[in-house]
Amino acid sequence: MTPSTPHPRDRGIPEATVARLPVYLRSLQSLHERGTPTVSSDALAASTGVNPAKLRKDLSYLGSYGTRGVGYDVEYLIYQVSRELGLTQGWSVAIVGIGNLGRALANYGGFGTRGFRIAALLDADTSVVGDRVAGISVGHIDTLEDVVAAERISIGVVATPASTAQSVCDRFVESGVTSVLNFAPVVLNVPTGVEVRKVDLSIELQILAFHEQRKADGHLSPGWIEPQDDTS
């Protein structure tokens, strides 16, 4: 059976808005943990670095407009954003590549509270296979297809060296997985209908280095904040 895949509901929500929803959710969850019942659009915008007008427009796509003089109900807005992101149901995740990065991802405790279950860990190194990481026994990469079917894997995480990342991605896709998170330093080629999100920490550091240099050269004040994408 082909595993289900998380996608924002097709309601004409711009990709730029979808990209900001997790940022809103993180701030809302922090407010909820502090016992804050309501939040104004200005306060939520300030905590996320987004223009208040843009934030209100983003949330209007969810059918949430807040209450004048009161703001947004934090708990209900968490539900709305979570629902739109597909986090009100659980998504099974398989990580391939159980080196330092793969182990760190497996041990991250925040996935479970956000709707993601690490269901399988796989590696090609026989010296790693059988290790228990975050309570899960590492399986051999040869079992990938069986694991995807048995665990109904929705998201495949590629944390392998660049040289093997494409082949791992291909096997995920051939097994029916259509959402891939790629940590390998390589661009993955996938067919239409497969979503790939790339996480490249070195690129993010280089962008920060650029801004540090700009500040050092006097082009920007130390309090400069990167503008948000205006695409909407």
Residues 6+ apart with CB under 8 A from 131: 98, 137, 138
At residue 93, φ and ψ (nearest 5 deg) are -125, 140
According to DSSP, residue 119 is labeled E
- Residue 97 annotated in ligand binding: yes
The token pair at 135 is 């309570």
Output the six-digit token pair for 148.
């995807």
Q: Which residues of 114-150 are buried (b: 16+ CB within 10 A; e: fewer)?
A: eebebbbbbbeeeebbeeebeeeebbebeebeebbee
CA 37 – CA 155 distance, rounded (Å):
33
Calculate the CA 86 to chain-centre distance: 12
Distance of CA 105 to the CA centre of its chain: 12
Closest among 154, 114, 153 to 7, alpha carbons compared: 154
Please return the burial class of 227, using the count of CB atoms within 10 Å of its CB with bins 0-12, 13-18 and 19+: exposed
102 is in an annotated binding site: yes
β-partners of residue 200 are: none
The answer to the question of whether 155 is labelled as a binding residue is no
Q: Would the annotation count 109 as a binding residue? A: no
Output the known binding site for NAD(+): 97-102
Output the known binding site: 97-102
